[in-house]
Amino acid sequence: MQFDAALAARAALQEAELELGSDWDRVLELEGAFSANAGLTAREAYEGLLSLAARYPKAHSYNAFCIYITWQQVTEETIAEHFHTGIRLSESYLASREGKNRIHIDYVTELLESFRAGLGVDEEDEIQVEFRKDTPKGGD
């Protein structure tokens, strides 16, 4: 990656304060638990942060923050679930670029590629293409 996801998360979170209104203090509490811990405590904080994102679909900076911390979660706990979550969040974020920070768009695009690569999605597509090329057409 051409950027540090932890630094990008910090910047996006600072931008998100106005987007989150009365939930800002709760986000700070959860982010503090996520950043200062590992294991179950960090995972629970991470899930709490994601659940708040569902309540704020137009909070672009906060949603970018959630994508960045999903990458951090992938590095902490490398399981398919986190890669799938990253893909889902990234695709949703990139579906509309209106009103979004260009830097976040670029970073999320790069992370989307990384999430897909982590699952072997791109490699699988290439294999499928080669398979179709090698498969005889028609006849018996």
Q: With pLDDT > 90 as the criterion, what percentage of the chain qualifies? A: 77
Q: How far apart are CA 77 and CA 133, in angstroms?
A: 37
Mean predicted confidence (pLDDT) in 1-27: 94
Instruction: Give this prediction's pTM.
Output: 0.85
Q: For residue 98, what is the enclosing H or E element? A: none
Residue 124, pLDDT score: 44
Q: Can you give the pLDDT at residue 107?
A: 97
The single-letter DSSP state of residue 95 is: T
Does 135 score more than 90 pLDDT?
no
Six token digits for residue 97: 């670029």
Q: What is the dihedral of CA 128, 118, 59, 53, to 10 degrees?
A: 110
Q: Which of 116, 135, 133 is nearest to 124 (CA)?
A: 116
